[in-house]
Structure 1
Amino acid sequence: MRGTLFAYVLRTYLRFALGILLGLVVIFVVVDFVDRAKAYTGPGWVEAAAKLYGYKALMSVQQLGPAALLLAAGTAVSALRKQGEVTAIRALTFGPGALYIPILVCALGACVGLVVFDELVATHAGRRVDEITTQRFNRGGDWRIYYTPKQWFRRGDHIFFLRSGSAQEGFRDVSIFTVSKEFELLRRLDAAEMHSLEGTRWRLSGVVERHFAGEGRTTVRQLESAEYELGVPANVFRIRPGRPEQLRVAELREQIDARKEVGLATRQYELALHNRFAYPMAALPAALLGVGLALRSSRRGHLTAAIIEGLLTAVAMWGLMVVCRTLVLTERLSPFVAAWTPTFLLVLVAGAVWLRREGLLPSPRRWLAAR
């Protein structure tokens, strides 16, 4: 009997979750297309737009998945309650765990699946969306912020201005500034090309070397080619273009380390790394919260109330994530705290709802009356 009930509740929840997710994805795609339809013109635009929205649909699965799991928990339990099945479960002496446990197991599997989906599918889909939008429909938006090659780097007392090229092929038209601890300019190297040798040594071609000795004294010499110890290996300059959310976990870790080496900002990349796990896993306590709200004895209008409560919870969490992201970018909050705060709050609220239902947490009215 217990196994049959477990499977029944699990199937019910899974059916609601898939249906709600499909509905949310369709709504997102339709609304986005209607909003941007004027931008899709030119020969073959229909095929290009179809590919674009195919990739956007894949991205939206990862973005809307946690909301779907939250809404499905409340609506599934509300549907069972409306049909009298929750009362029947109680009559068979099964407690609320008969509803909590199947939904917990299913939501946990779905959260892990969303993490894997994001890592293997959504990251690639995001890059393809940017490529099609900019190359086919010429709508860049903030594309330049993430895809323009980085040119300024700092390592120790050296500041590098690498105008073009790469670590593998060599850099062209470079300037290297050496500064003191007081940030006074000591030396400037201008070179037509810069190629990596062994370790941290580099060969510069077409060099103009200037030394600044203070009090306006400057020495200049020109060299056809010269080797310099610059204290930086070639792999440090392998800064990948693209949005942090479109990089896989290994690439994010690599970029965080590389950016720290050359003095570039890393907070957005650290936030993306933590969110790779924190955002999908927030659906787990959210689903349990949906179950707890749906089981309240004072509940009225089961399905409608479940949808409204789920949407309000999702909007509140989305707003909190936006605020946390802003605080990270303005260096007022650590990426770890910003990523995991919504999940932690959902755990607290879901736990409070469960304790309240079990009579272990007094209501505010009773607490005030006791005072």
Structure 2
Amino acid sequence: MQLDFFPSRTLTLYLAKMFVVRILAVLVMLVLVLLALDLLGETGKILEPAGNGQAEIIKYASLRIPQLIARFLPYSVLLATLIALVTLNQNSEVVAMKAAGLSAHQVLAPLLLTSVVVALLSFGFNERVVTRANATLKAWEAVDYGAIPQETGVRANVYLTDGENILTAASLVGSGEAIRLRNVTWYLRGPGGIIREQVRASEATYAAPGWRLAEPVRFDVGSAETEQLETLVVGEMLTPERIDLQSVDPDSQSFFELGETIDAFDAVGRRTTEMRAKWWHRISGPLSALLMPLLGSVAAFGLARSGQLFVRAIIGMALGFAYFVIDNAALAMGSFGGYPPFLAAWAPFFLFLLVGETVLIRTEE
């Protein structure tokens, strides 16, 4: 019986249903609260462009909800685990299951199976919905919630380097020689990265070579003088092909699209550390839901009458949040090359998998 992780179909369905209901309840609560707080800060910006109204606020909410769901689903699984296990412990249901001969792993097996299903659904949701919402929202934010350009290939917050100099743009539309950069800033830098000139323009188009700025305004840092220019060509080393590579947004690409982008970067000898870390994290991120029942299991075992149930719940919550902190830190380290991409994405997962198993085995003993 100890090797049969689902000895009772009725018990499995009962625990799985309880777990799913609590996950959904916690997720809805978190998303509604966080969306309301987000709208408090963004509604003014959304309504600022002429013609924007309630429809645009609803549109913003529809784009933010997928992002919030993707980010806080693992937290919801953690909190739902603690709520479900504390309830089972308080009602002596865990004691009854243990008295019937079930091990700690058998008690948690329905929750772990449910977590695997949640992880698979999360991966599919991220690929089909969240990436598209990211691309649309970033393009909309780049035009200050105005009309989104109809051209294809819209990308936001473009940052390009031309030797020591820097070219930034709020948005990029089109591809190849038809690329247009909007709300452009050109930084001319001297030795040591010191900025000598700053040039702002509403738009930049390809001049073959370089990029022609429309109605540029130049600010000389040394003399603190501003000058209106008729035209100016900058960034002669920035070709359309190079811009297509440098302006990639990993968060707006699906798992397979990002893999193809990484291959394209490798083919031209470009750095892919950050994208590889995010590519691996597309798998390890949703799988973090599998860890939550293990990390929260400390709240399930031990007598509720001992007075330590609250302390056990706090310990389970601390373990869960410690995972998210370390996971974000490792991903950040992997993004700038401090860790290898695979290690940055998977080390926290396997570390806390061992921690959760250790806690569970010690608890069972």
| TM-score normalized by the length of structure 2 | 0.69
Map of 1:102 onto structure 2: 110
Residue 300 of structure 2, aligned match among 291, 294, 312: 294
Cα offset, 1:358, TM superposition: 2.9
**Rounded Cα–Cα distance in structure 1 between residues aligned with 2:98 and 2:64:** 44
Cα offset, 1:10, TM superposition: 0.9
Cα offset, 1:111, TM superposition: 0.7
Given the alignment of the two structures, is residue 127 of structure 1 paired with residue 135 of structure 2, yes or no?
yes
Change (3 A) 1:235 1:129: closer
Given the alignment of the two structures, is residue 327 of structure 1 paired with residue 308 of structure 2, yes or no?
no
Change (3 A) 1:309 1:165: closer
Cα offset, 1:7, TM superposition: 0.8
Cα offset, 1:150, TM superposition: 5.3
1:29-81 Cα offsets, whole Å, 9 max, x none, are: 11222233432323323221211121111111111111111221221111111
Change (3 A) 1:98 1:325: closer
Greater CA drift, 24-33 or 35-44: 35-44
Given the alignment of the two structures, is residue 17 of structure 1 paired with residue 23 of structure 2, yes or no?
yes
Cα offset, 1:287, TM superposition: 2.0
Given the alignment of the two structures, is residue 93 of structure 1 paired with residue 101 of structure 2, yes or no?
yes
Residue 66 of structure 1, aligned match among 62, 67, 74: 74
Cα offset, 1:286, TM superposition: 2.2
**Rounded Cα–Cα distance in structure 2 between residues aligned with 1:39 and 1:165:** 23
Secondary structure at the residue paired with 1:265? coil
**Structure 2 residue runs without a partner (length 5+):** 1-6, 147-153, 181-205, 210-239
1:184-216 Cα offsets, whole Å, 9 max, x none, are: xxxxxxx9659xxxxxxxxxxxxxxxxxxxxxx
**Rounded Cα–Cα distance in structure 2 between residues aligned with 1:124 and 1:260:** 25
Change (3 A) 1:236 1:35: closer
The 8 Å contact of residues 170 and 193 in structure 1, kept in 2 or not, is answered as: no
Given the alignment of the two structures, is residue 46 of structure 1 paired with residue 46 of structure 2, yes or no?
no
Cα offset, 1:2, TM superposition: 1.3
Map of 1:31 onto structure 2: 37
The 8 Å contact of residues 334 and 340 in structure 2, kept in 1 or not, is answered as: yes
Identity over aligned pairs, percent: 22
Amino acid at match of 1:280: P
Cα offset, 1:332, TM superposition: 1.6
1:139-164 Cα offsets, whole Å, 9 max, x none, are: xxxxx9964275769xxxxxxx9xx9
Rg larger for: 1
Map of 2:352 onto structure 1: 346
**Rounded Cα–Cα distance in structure 2 between residues aligned with 1:170 and 1:25:** 40
The 8 Å contact of residues 171 and 193 in structure 1, kept in 2 or not, is answered as: no
The 8 Å contact of residues 86 and 299 in structure 2, kept in 1 or not, is answered as: no
Written as runs of structure 1 = structure 2, the 5 A alignment for 1:198-217 is none
Secondary structure at the residue paired with 2:271? coil
Residue 78 of structure 1, aligned match among 63, 86, 89: 86
Map of 2:198 onto structure 1: none
Amino acid at match of 1:134: A
1:87-127 Cα offsets, whole Å, 9 max, x none, are: 22233333334421100110011111111111111111111
RMSD of Structure 2 on Structure 1 (CA): 3.4
Cα offset, 1:293, TM superposition: 3.6
**Rounded Cα–Cα distance in structure 1 between residues aligned with 2:293 and 2:44:** 38
Amino acid at match of 2:102: F
Change (3 A) 1:331 1:357: same
**Rounded Cα–Cα distance in structure 1 between residues aligned with 2:177 and 2:325:** 45
Change (3 A) 1:46 1:237: closer
Runs of 4+ residues deviating >6 angstroms: 164-167, 234-237
The 8 Å contact of residues 52 and 133 in structure 1, kept in 2 or not, is answered as: no
How many residues matched? 288
Change (3 A) 1:260 1:301: same
**Rounded Cα–Cα distance in structure 2 between residues aligned with 1:13 and 1:301:** 23
1:226-284 Cα offsets, whole Å, 9 max, x none, are: xxxxxxxx988853744212211121112112223334331221111011001111220
